[in-house]
């Protein structure tokens, strides 16, 4: 696997100064960097939002089609929320001070999302958070379908000319693709790239768990409702696909809009050239915030509208990002570095659409 290195002494000074200020904030306010009561309440609310409609399928009389599909949509909304707020923090190790609890919560939540912690840690924690927007290394800008182009360094096809129109539909499919085929392709790719060198037993364990977790996943979502509820297999399948479309659109739009933008920077690993920035500086050039005053949105998407703070401090729980933002902005300004932000969620989505258009031209 081609590697790139970061280099910048000034950038190291920037991050050292920033960490000092952030640590000072937590010390002066006598608060921990992980979750608190509001985080635990959110977790309960999201799981309640998830399980209530699912249980309703079994205990209520047969519902009209629109209500049945509506409940699946609610499950989709809850699943995306759990992914943003609970799984994301747990796998980053920022939900709790206890590593074992984070691991168990991450695995538990992933069962309902349809993913695998081991793959997520490589794709998201290692590759995306280290090599953000570096083509060839950041898997988040490597779409699982050839109809999408997220980087100016990726191969371009004539079909990409229209991706700003159809991308939103394919976003709705990405969750289903991830649950069914992508994870198997990922682990094979990561093995070939050396992530499992001298770890043959671990590789077999992860691969086996992907198979087992998928059996559990489809049993819960397809088999059990088809047998023990008044709905036919085809109705259940329609609801299941509706749920995934909601999850895919929401998660893809939030994650891609934060990085694939006309204002963010892209690089390539093809030539193996070093990046003339520190890792922390690189995050500022490749990441943008949005809708920073929208408290409801921030609650639902796990503070990921504060993407800059998250990328600089992925080990800090998202409930603190809003209060860390002024500190980050102050230190960034002192070092004359960018702090990219969009005023609303609508504006960042429009911005992302413009970038899709540019990448198709």
Structure tokens at 120: 């997520």
What pLDDT is stored for residue 2 in this prediction?
62
- What does the mean pLDDT of the chain come to? 95
Give pLDDT, residue 17.
96
Res 7: pLDDT: 82
pLDDT surpassing 60 at residue 1: no
What is the rounded distance in angstroms from the CA atom of residue 328 to the CA atom of residue 22? 8
pLDDT (average), residues 218-227: 98
Q: Which residues, listed in sequence order, are joined to residue 290 by a DSSP beta bridge?
A: 342
Domain membership flag for residue 202: yes
Q: Does residue 54 carry a pLDDT above 60?
A: yes
Compute the Cα dihedral for 149, 288, 324, 333 and give only its sign. Answer: positive
pLDDT of residue 10: 63
**In this predicted structure, what is the pLDDT of residue 44?**
98
Query: For residues 163 and 359, is the Cβ–Cβ distance under 8 A?
Result: yes
Q: How far is Cα 113 from Cα 207, in angstroms, rounded to an integer?
A: 17
Task: Please check whether residue 4 lies inside any domain of the structure.
Answer: no
Letter string b/e over residues 23-35, b meaning 16 or more CB atoms within 10 A of that residue's CB? eebeeeeeeebbb
Q: Which residues lie below 8 Å from residue 7, measured CB to CB, with a gap of 6+?
A: 274, 275, 276, 277, 278
- What span, in angstroms and rounded, lies between the C-alpha atoms of 7 and 331? 20
Q: Is a pLDDT exceeding 80 seen at residue 351?
A: yes
CB atoms < 10 A from the CB of 5, how many?
9
pLDDT digits (tens, 9 = 90+) for 226-275: 999 999 999 999 999 999 999 999 999 999 999 999 999 999 987 777 88
- The pLDDT-based confidence of 143 (bands split at 50, 70, 90) is confident
Flag whether 40 is in a domain.
yes
DSSP string computed for 38-104: HHHHHHHHHHHHHHHHHHHHHHSPPPPHHHHHHHHHHHHHHHHHHIIIIIHHHHHT-S-S-HHHHHH
| Averaged pLDDT for residues 279-285 | 97
Residue 91 located in a structural domain? yes
| Beta strand 134-135 pairing with 267-268 | parallel
Tokens of 186: 């990922």
Q: pLDDT > 90: what percent of the chain?
A: 91
Instruction: Please write the tens of the pLDDT for every residue from 65-105.
Output: 999 999 999 999 999 999 999 999 999 999 999 999 999 99
Q: Look at residue 176 in the predicted model and tell me its pLDDT.
A: 95
Number of separate domains in the chain? 1
Q: What spatial distance separates the first Cα and last Cα of the chain, rounded to whole Å?
A: 29
CA distance 352 to 312: 22
For residue 269, what pLDDT is reported?
Answer: 83
Is 3 a member of any domain?
Answer: no
Average pLDDT in the 287-303 region? 98
SS3 content of the chain, % helix, strand, coil (to 5): 70, 5, 30
Least-confidence region, from 15-29, 178-192, 261-275, 308-322: 261-275
pLDDT score, position 9: 61
Torsion sign, CA atoms 283, 285, 288, 293? positive
Please give the residue range of the domain that contains residue 320: 9-360
DSSP 340: E
Residue 192 pLDDT more than 80?
Answer: yes
For 341, phi and psi rounded to 5 degrees?
-150, 150
């Amino acid at each position: 696997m081609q590697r790139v290195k970061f280099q910048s002494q000034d950038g190291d000074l920037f991050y050292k100064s920033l960490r000092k200020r952030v640590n000072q904030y937590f010390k002066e306010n006598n608060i921990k960097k992980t979750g608190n009561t509001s985080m635990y309440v959110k977790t309960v609310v999201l799981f309640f939002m998830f399980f209530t409609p699912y249980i309703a399928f079994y205990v209520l009389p047969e519902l009209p089609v629109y209500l049945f599909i509506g409940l699946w949509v609610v499950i989709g909304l809850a699943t995306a929320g759990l992914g943003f707020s609970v799984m994301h923090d747990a796998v980053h190790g920022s939900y709790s001070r206890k590593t074992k609890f984070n691991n168990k919560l991450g695995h538990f939540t992933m069962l309902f999302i349809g993913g695998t912690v081991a793959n997520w840690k490589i794709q998201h924690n290692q590759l995306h958070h280290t090599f953000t927007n570096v083509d060839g290394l950041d898997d988040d800008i490597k779409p699982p379908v050839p109809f999408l182009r997220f980087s100016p360094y990726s191969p371009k096809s004539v079909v990409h000319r229209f991706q700003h129109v159809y991308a939103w539909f394919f976003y709705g499919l990405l969750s289903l693709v991830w649950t069914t085929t992508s994870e198997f392709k990922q682990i094979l790719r990561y093995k070939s790239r050396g992530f499992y060198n001298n770890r043959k037993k671990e590789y077999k364990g992860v691969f086996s768990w992907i198979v087992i977790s998928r059996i559990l996943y489809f049993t819960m979502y397809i088999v059990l409702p088809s047998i023990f509820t008044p709905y036919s297999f085809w109705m259940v399948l329609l609801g299941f696909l509706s749920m995934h479309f909601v999850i895919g659109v929401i998660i893809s739009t939030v994650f891609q809009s934060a990085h694939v933008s006309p204002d963010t920077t892209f690089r390539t690993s093809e030539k193996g050239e070093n990046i003339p920035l520190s890792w922390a500086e690189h995050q500022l050039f490749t990441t943008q915030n949005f809708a920073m005053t929208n408290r409801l949105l921030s609650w639902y998407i796990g503070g990921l509208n504060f993407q800059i703070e998250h990328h600089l401090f992925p080990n800090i729980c998202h409930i603190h990002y809003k209060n860390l933002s002024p500190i980050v902005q102050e230190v960034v300004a002192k070092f004359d570095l960018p702090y990219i932000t969009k005023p609303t969620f609508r504006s960042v989505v429009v911005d992302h659409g413009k970038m899709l258009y540019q990448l198709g031209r």
